[in-house]
Amino acid sequence: MGRHTPGAVPEDEPFALVATASHGIRVTAVNRRAAAEGVRVAAALADARAALPALLSRPAEPHRDRTALIRLARWCGRYGPARNSDGTDGLWIDVTGVAHLYGGEDKLIADLCRRLASLALTARAGLADTLGAAHALARFGFLEPRDEGAGGCPPGQVVERHPYSRSDRAWIIAPAGETRAALARLPVEALRLAPETVVLLKRLGLFRIGQLYGLPRAALERRFRPQAASRSRARESADLAAAVLGRLDEALGVRFAPRRPLREPPILSVRRRWAEPLISSQALEAATAALAAELCRSLADAALGARRIRLSLYRADGTVAEAQAGTSSPCRIPAHLLRLLKEKLALIDAGFGIDVAVLEALSVERLGPRQAALGAHLEAADGNETTALIDRLANRLGPARVYDLSPRESHTPERAEIRLPALWGARAHTPQARRPSSRRSPRRPPFLLERPEPIAVVAEVPEGPPQHFTWRRLPHRVVRAEGPERIAPEWWRALGQSRPRDYYRLEDEGGAGYWVFREGLYQNAAEDGPPRWFLHGLFG
Amino acid sequence: MDQAAPSPHPSAELKRVSPSNAGSRLSASCKLRSPPSRNGEPLLAVPVSRAALTPEALGRRALLTRLRERIRAIERHDAPLAPLPPAGPASDADGWTLGAPEIDALLGATALDPAGVHEVKPAAKGAGGRAAALIFALRLAVRRMRQMPAARGRRLLWCWPSSLARELGRLYGPGLASLGLDPEALLIVETAKAADTLWALEEGLNSGSLALVLGVLDEVALTPARRLSLAAEAHLVPCLLLTGAHAPATAATATRWLLAPARSGAHLFEAPAPGAPRLAVTLERCRGRRAAPPEASLTLEWSDETHRFRVAPLLAHRADGAPHAGCRAGG
């Protein structure tokens, strides 16, 4: 129920968020006070108002909630690189290999809950071997005895507190290997099943996950069958049983549950945490330098070089600042990586301070070991200086703005060449492309307009070169002309849309050279329309 | 009778040959270039009137020479004036020349300074004139890549704002190849703002690993030009600044060239076709030397075969005549 405007949710008055559903306006969320007064989620607003006239309400904004949740998920990267939102009201984080940085799972989850609380969020957390189990613990491990019936337990049966939970904590941790025991008492809803499956399970008397453990697998499918008379129904029941068992296996870790993190986890990652948030830019720079040195050591150990790196700075107020940098060749020189990041650091606002910094290598390539003693010296040599220059230019100006020219097999002038971002480093890898020798190939202008510009032309004979032309509102008198050079359209590309071109090299009375063409032929003017003239390049 | 040929008789009534009109004389007569060392000191030391030989005149001469030395030092032209290198291919190895002895003579012994900023600027507004200036710079780059052993295998950096790239067209590889420049050697930067172009140019110079840095800008203020010049000097990488026609002149550049397109030479086989490309070139400024007065410009012709400039022959139909037979005054 985190709102974007602070103070929008009153603390001590019943408050509900509402949304228009198929049968009128429904309550989608309530605050604590309203819950205490008996307002339930999914009740009609009219009913709730009838029972509690003082109920305040506002329309729900699911898309803004979603954005806020994603932003929170990004910030959760401080607890593990793989994380994403879970449903519309939860997050999952893969903390494998991270807990020791916080001094244990207990301290990690305590830190998480404390920080979420400081962001004015009420959070429940579950930590288990599998995503399914953690989901179940976080959502169904905290049912109060008061919630009798609501958690899906058989009526009349009192829900007892989860054995791993403690009243002073907002989290439950299932120790490694004890997932079965931890889940046994939870209701079957916790398995992330479709509502009708849950209803069916309850009708069969299966209320808790523990009840499913001992059941023979074939028997479960048979139990669903009495419901199903026809053959299609039989297949449906088999599907239902498979869904239940699949979810159970995923929760217990028997079957791998695919999950999609917010972002691809990095290949290598180093992180630093500080008790006091960093604010000054010098401190940030020093921290980045230390991280870069550490990352380069890891890269050297693995005989790798980084092509793309990302620095994530987690601010104390629950936001993340990021800086990405790319290199045109695999690199593990801390000074160079630092230099690329430093320019972007200047643009980063530290806000209330940065307490976790993570430097990740997103893309790496093999880079053989180098002699350490000579390395520093060698890397200052020419070839590397140029790639370092490309990196600096491309990282500041944008990769598409720094490019190489690469030839392509085509007779259409504008298609005979492509611009490849220099940062891709394709020039170093591909063998020297064969260009036709300049002597034999027809003359081309050194400057080619991005798209041909229409010109108004006066020609002596229709098929001949122009005598006058007007380009950019300036008249030019042609004194010399060479041509035509006919370039036919490539028949495998959109035939009928493009017409043959007759290129002429012109010189005006001032001596300036132009490359113009006439698109279309006079003999085909009846079908294709009259030919048109364009200016395509400058000879100077 | 040619005025510049020193008379064997000292009392001959010849006018004092001053370097201020040396340039115009150069363009007026090509015989000046033989003997090849007719430039700088030897030319200055031909005062032919009797008064110049009196002791007090000698003292004044020494004073003048000393003052010139000081001016040269102030203008940071440290290299002592050496005699002109012999014209021809032998000079290619030791300097960045244009290949035309007439204009190389104006540049002096060091030719184009490979550690300086050179400005190339069109004489008049318009896309055609601007393209002519840019292509002159590209041809200088061709000379540089082919002449300097240090430049081989290195890359060229070409920086410009995208607005100019849209106006004049993007660099086109096949066209560059027909100029004689390897398109693969070019690293092109298109920036959003002119300030970024200056930054990229300075980065390029500071990396010290490039053969040449070319920047296209409408105008460059004195401070950035001076910064570029210091960076070029520190890393021994030359920089060509291709400014617009209305750019104010800055003192930070080593040379400044004024370019205008000129009617091309005659085509060898096809009369109505454009022949060898020609440009009207004026050396407006040359640090440490007096340059030709602005009204004196040479029409240079570029040869795609030899990748060098030469002074365009006077006679229209002698495309391949003796290259030094005559030359034209005035662009």
> Are A446 and B207 inside 8 Å of each other by CB?
no
Q: Provide the chain A residues 496-515 that lie in CB contact (below 8 A) with chain B.
A: 505-514
Nearest CA in chain A to B201: A393
How many angstroms away from the CA of B277 is the closest CA of chain A? 8
The span from the CA of A311 to the CA of A321, in Å, is 8
**b/e A72-98 (16+ beta carbons within 10 angstroms → b):** bbbbbbbbbbbbbbbeeebbbbbbeeb
pLDDT the model gives residue B41 = 41
Element (H, E) at A456: strand A456-459
pLDDT at position B29 is 36
Nearest-angstrom CA–CA distance, B227 and B213? 14
Instruction: For residue B128, give the chain A residue with the closest CA.
Output: A512
Q: What is the pLDDT of residues B80-95, one digit of tens each?
A: 444 444 444 433 345 7
**Quick one: DSSP state of residue A187?**
B
pTM: 0.71
Best residue of B209, B257, B307 to probe chain A, by most A CBs closer than 10 Å? B209
DSSP string, A14-81: -EEEEEEETTEEEEEEE-HHHHHTT--TT-BHHHHHHH-TT-EEEE--HHHHHHHHHHHHHHGGGG-S
Q: Which of A422, A472, A507 sits opposite B274 (nearest CB)?
A: A507
Residue of A287, A251, A218 whose CA lies nearest to A137? A251
**Residue B57 binned pLDDT confidence (cut-offs 50, 70, 90):** low
Asked if residue A484 has a cis previous peptide bond (ω within 30° of 0), the answer is: yes
Q: What is the pLDDT of residue B140?
A: 93
Q: How far apart are the first and last CA of chain B?
A: 25
What is the predicted pLDDT for the residue at B142? Answer: 92
Rounded to a whole number, what is the distance in Å from the CA of B60 to chain A's nearest CA?
48
Evaluate whether A128 touches A186 at the Cβ level (below 8 Å). Answer: no
Q: Is the pLDDT of residue B52 over 70?
A: no
Contact (Cβ atoms closer than 8 angstroms) between residue A65 and residue A29: no
The Cα A280–Cα A283 span in angstroms is 5
The secondary structure of residue B53, as a DSSP letter, is: G
Q: Tell me the per-residue pLDDT of B294-306, one tens digit each, with 9 for 90 and over.
A: 556 889 999 888 8
pLDDT along chain A (540 residues), means of 10: 50 81 82 81 84 84 87 87 85 87 88 86 86 87 56 50 74 85 85 85 84 81 64 73 86 84 87 88 91 93 91 88 89 89 87 90 84 44 75 91 89 89 70 51 89 93 91 93 89 76 93 92 84 91
B286-298 burial string, b = 16+ CB within 10 Å, else e? bbbbebbeeebbb
Closest Cβ–Cβ partner in B131, B199, B209 for A386: B209
Q: Could you tell me if A431 lies within 8 Å of chain B, comparing CB atoms?
A: no
In the block, which residue shows the tokens 């896309």? Answer: B127
DSSP B274: B
Tell how strand A268-278 and strand A354-366 pair up.
antiparallel
CA A154, distance to chain mean position in Å, is 43
Single out the residue of A122, A120, A95, A119 nearest to residue A109, CA to CA: A95
Q: Which amino acid is at B21?
A: N
Cβ(A492)–Cβ(A415) below 8 Å:
no
Smallest CA-to-CA distance from B187 within A453, A431, A425 is with: A425
Q: Where are the alpha helices (DSSP H) in chain B?
A: 22-28, 41-44, 55-74, 101-107, 127-147, 162-168, 173-179, 194-207, 222-235
Q: Write down the residue that tokens 């709730």 correspond to.
A: A48
Structure ipTM: 0.72
**Token pair of A203 as six digits:** 């009708």
- Between CA A18 and CA A45 the distance in angstroms is 7
Cis peptide before B35 (omega within 30 of 0): yes
Task: Supply A189's token pair.
Answer: 């809803």
User: How far apart are alpha carbons B220 and B250 in whole angstroms?
Assistant: 8
Residue with the bigger pLDDT between A90 and B109: it is A90
Specify the DSSP element, H or E, that contains A321.
Answer: strand A320-331
3-state secondary structure A484-532: EEEECCCCCCCECCECCEEEEEEEECCCCEEEEEEECCHHHHHHHCCCE
| Listed residue (A375, A183, A357, A197) closest to A274, CA to CA | A357
Count, in order, helices (H) and strands (E) of chain B.
9, 10
Residue A380's nearest CA partner among A366, A370, A367 is A370
Fill in the DSSP letter of residue B19.
G
- In angstroms, what separates the C-alpha of A303 from chain B's closest C-alpha? 27
Distance CA A324, CA A395 (A): 8
Residue B261: phi, psi to the nearest 5?
-70, 150
CB B189 within 8 A of CB B215: no
Question: What does the alpha-carbon distance between residue A306 and residue A421 come to, in Å, rounded to a whole number?
Answer: 18
Q: What pLDDT shows up at residue B71?
A: 79
Chain B contact for A301 (CB, 8 A cutoff): no
